[in-house]
Structure 1
């Protein structure tokens, strides 16, 4: 249940969707396995898996949704090898190079034939909807996968006005200041042991992990004009994470104190109660931290809402 990565979005729709209406909307786009002719499919599943029947769990204004993405694994190298073999046979038989359109037709035929025999891979994508704050956060490593989940929600609801969360101060500039000046760090914030520094020119990226970020080595690299693009942070008794310059939160790890509190809650071995209890506690910790983070980065910017 505990999220690992988060992509943050601001919801611009002013009227919240009623819980029963949301459940109905998700039901219409429930997950079904990919057919033999499909390359991928995305749909809603119950967050509690086989233990539950709800597609939305709501606790104190926090909603949990879960999408399942399934795709067939058909490596490009396998397709390319089969296309080359068939193209070579055609060229030998016809005594001429194959036109590009003929090669494309062969490729389409190869994909059509191999796809039903390909293995499938499934990925769960959790979506946390903070209705009180108008915030949507998606638990996945890839921004592309997060956007796919948003597209599915938009399709399910008919419309969804969201934009990536933005702040007034560039995260890279603030992270760099935290590295350069210990006194600039907010109370309760400590640096971890990972950093990525980018050069404004073409000198590449400098990465380090498992080191003292207040040490001379990091300061020497910063003196060359590099800016922080990733920085490991530790929030006392709450969580640790890696903040990216696009405001993505990666490698989330909740503090022992939080996990101990979760384990002490009585759930009577009810998997749904356990899911909702853990989710409520996690949402409480994350919502508090995100508010802090926005404040540390100069407050939220005010982008124009999308038109659709």
Structure 2
């Protein structure tokens, strides 16, 4: 249940929908089996797994939904091998090379023939909706996958206006400043042991793990103009994470004390009770930490209730 990666979004003109209505709307967009000619499909599934029928869990204003993405895996090497064989047979039969356009048409034909027999991979993507803070977070490894789930939520609700959460101080600037002056880190924030530094010119990106971020070597790189695009951080006794320049939170690791607290609270055999207990404790912890992070980064870049038209046209999903 514990999230690994989070992409954060601010809701605008927040839809007010009762839990029962949201459950009913989600059921209309529940995952259906892939058709034979379909490459991918995305739909809602029960967060509690096969033994549960609820598509939405809500506890103290925190809502949990899960989307399941199914995709057929058809390696390009398989298509290429089949294409080479068919082209070779056709050239041997007709005595001259197969034109490029025919090869492309043959490749598309092979893809359509093999797709229904391809292996299907399923991946679950969790969405957390903090209704009291008008915040949505998607537990996805990439922004593209997160926005796929937001699009599914938009279809489910009929409309949805969200923008990626933004702060007045860009994370890139703040992370670089924190590396320059570790003693000036705010609150309970502690430097971790991994970093990604990007040069302003064409010197590429430097990635380092299990390093002392307060070392002279890191300082020399910063003095040469590099900036931090990813930075490992710890929030004392709560969790560790890697902050990215787009404000995504990656590689979340919750503190043992927090996991022990969850275990004590959910020491029962009911899997759904454990799921809801873990989710509520995690959501409350993350909500507080995200508020702290926004404060450390100078507050939000724009008032929640007044998103600019330019921002909506370029960044909003609606």
TM-score (structure 2 length as normaliser): 0.93
Contact 1:11 / 1:135 at 8 angstroms: preserved in 2? yes
Give yes or no for the alignment of 1:218 onto 2:218. Answer: yes
The root-mean-square deviation of aligned C-alpha atoms, in Å, is 1.5
Alignment-derived partner of residue 171 in structure 1: 171
Alignment-derived partner of residue 308 in structure 2: 304
Q: Secondary structure at the match of 2:109?
A: helix
List gaps (5 residues or longer) in structure 2: none
Alignment-derived partner of residue 187 in structure 2: 187
Return the alpha-carbon distance in structure 2 between the equivalents of residues 2 and 63 of structure 1: 15
Alignment-derived partner of residue 144 in structure 1: 144
- Cα distance, 1:151 vs. partner? 1.2
- Cα distance, 1:96 vs. partner? 4.5
1:99-131, Cα deviation, whole Å (9 max, x unpaired) = 444223212210111112211111010000011
1:260-300, Cα deviation, whole Å (9 max, x unpaired) = 11011145311111111100000011000101111111111
Give yes or no for the alignment of 1:49 onto 2:80. Answer: no
Q: Secondary structure at the match of 1:35?
A: coil
More deviation, 90-99/283-292:
90-99
More deviation, 6-15/80-89:
80-89
- Cα distance, 1:19 vs. partner? 1.1
Return the alpha-carbon distance in structure 1 between the equivalents of residues 22 and 209 of structure 2: 43
Return the alpha-carbon distance in structure 2 between the equivalents of residues 60 and 284 of structure 1: 9
1:39-69, Cα deviation, whole Å (9 max, x unpaired) = 1111110000122111000001000000111
Alignment-derived partner of residue 242 in structure 1: 242
Contact 2:179 / 2:214 at 8 angstroms: preserved in 1? yes
Q: 1:278 to 1:266 in 2, by over 3 A?
A: closer
Q: Secondary structure at the match of 1:258?
A: helix
Q: Secondary structure at the match of 2:42?
A: strand
Alignment-derived partner of residue 232 in structure 1: 232
Contact 1:267 / 1:273 at 8 angstroms: preserved in 2? no
Q: Secondary structure at the match of 2:172?
A: helix
Return the alpha-carbon distance in structure 1 between the equivalents of residues 100 and 291 of structure 2: 55
Q: 1:14 to 1:153 in 2, by over 3 A?
A: closer
- Cα distance, 1:7 vs. partner? 0.6
1:27-49, Cα deviation, whole Å (9 max, x unpaired) = 01111222322211111100001
Return the alpha-carbon distance in structure 2 between the equivalents of residues 155 and 84 of structure 1: 42
Return the alpha-carbon distance in structure 2 between the equivalents of residues 174 and 205 of structure 1: 18
Alignment-derived partner of residue 89 in structure 2: 89
- Cα distance, 1:215 vs. partner? 0.9
Q: Secondary structure at the match of 1:295?
A: helix
Q: 1:15 to 1:36 in 2, by over 3 A?
A: closer
